[in-house]
Amino acid sequence: MADLEEVFNRIREAKKEQREIKLVYKDALATSKEYQDVTGELNVLKEKKKKIEQDIKSQFKSELDQLDGLKLAIKTDNELLGDMALSQLMKGETVKITDEYDNNYEPVFSVRFRKAS
């Protein structure tokens, strides 16, 4: 079995190769006349779409404010749910949730690494 450093270095090398390929691809797009023309047309359509969306947003101001409040409440409750599940798990208790349709849910935990300061 590969050790942690080997896998980490393999991931870094793959990401480096991935960046290089993406750079070559972007360069090819930048030199394509047809791509530039279509991109210009797309930008005009995006601006038109944005104006239409702004007009409709102004008509639904209260609903969109309510939506923002709901998003914040959901985010806060998700954090609380995760903290509560982790606390139960640390106590050695079984962590399981059942919804109104008798579907069972169990927690999924993940680990990520970031560069140490």
pLDDT at 67: 97
pLDDT at 1: 64
User: Could you report the per-residue pLDDT of 84-109, keeping only the tens digit for each?
Assistant: 999 999 999 999 999 999 999 988 88
If DSSP states are collapsed to H, E and C, what string results for the chain? CCCHHHHHHHHHHHHHHHHHHHHHHHHHHHCCHHHHHHHHHHHHHHHHHHHHHHHHHHHCHHHHHHHHHHHHHHHHHHHHHHHHHHHHHHCCCCCCEECCCCCEECCCCCCCCCCCC
Residue 68: what residue type? D
The full set of domain ranges for the chain reads 1-59, 60-111
Residues of the chain with pLDDT under 50: none
